[in-house]
Amino acid sequence: MQLHSFFNSSTSYRVRIALALKGLAYDTLPVNIRAGEHRAADYVANVNPSATVPALIDGDFRLGQSLAIIDYLDRTHPEPRLIPLDTELRARVLELSTLIACDIHPLNNLRVLRYLETELKVTPQQKTAWYRHWVAQGMAGVERLLERSNAGPWCFGSQPTLADVTLVPQIANALRMDCDLSAYPRSLAVYEHALKHPAFAAAEPQRQPDYIA
């Protein structure tokens, strides 16, 4: 398999964790989204019509969107399963994962921050306040979901799931942006636990071949 990825993309980071947890070997095909390579005509026409990273290539099959890719990997390589089969546990995992993937991450990704700067001419302070506002609002929800269900060490028990796969890149981003996360102790405990796991460590941005310091 091959993964079109950018080291600093949270959605690429999710898929890298999933691949590593499943022990799947892959080649990284770097797509520099800072330079707009995800919008290149060849990439959009032949790899990923969404014009985003990540994109997985598995034989003849090319697939974009991180959650779709992880669901695909869970069906083609079910062990270890990241989206549980138990109906209620599965629902809880998807609830937390989509809270992050739909309610937090989309507001703070590169294209949005650039739009704020270039089109709306916000100040650096306004950009930081925007970023922290959506992290705070979303992470409060994540923490409440964990208060209801979390027994540790992972979001939903003794095995990592898609919930951890989405939470870890989100927390890493928030820490990079100096967000105060002290109100989310359960989320932070999961994050600290995950960083010690070799699959999560292997997927970190600074371990990628396209890493730029």
Report the interface residues with a copy of itself, using CB under 8 A: 44, 49-52, 61, 63-69, 71-72, 75-76, 87-88, 90-92, 94-95, 97-99, 101-103, 105-107, 111-112, 115-116, 119-120, 122, 126, 129-130, 133, 137, 140-141, 144-145, 147-148
Residue 67 Cβ, how far from a copy of itself at the closest point, in Å? Answer: 5
Q: Which CB atom, from 130 or from 159, has the smaller least distance to a copy of itself?
A: 130
Shortest CB 206 distance to a copy of itself, Å: 25
CA pair distance 99, 23, nearest whole angstrom: 27
Burial of 72 per CB tally in 10 Å (0-12, 13-18, 19+):
middle
Nearer to a copy of itself, 81 or 90 (CB): 90
Nearest to 67 by CA among 164, 137, 162, 148: 162
69 phi and psi angles, rounded to 5 deg: -65, -45
Strands 61-64 and 2-5: unpaired
- The answer for residues whose C-beta is within 8 angstroms of residue 120's C-beta and 6 or more apart is none
Nearer residue to a copy of itself within complex by CB, 103 or 204:
103
Residue 48 or 208 with smaller CB distance to a copy of itself: 48
- The number of angstroms, rounded, from the C-alpha of 121 to the middle of its chain's C-alpha atoms is 28
**Minimum CB distance to a copy of itself, residue 84 (Å):** 11
Residues 202, 20 contacting (CB under 8 angstroms): yes
Query: Least separation, in Å, of the C-beta of 65 and a copy of itself?
Result: 4
Query: CB-wise, 23 or 46, nearer to a copy of itself?
Result: 46
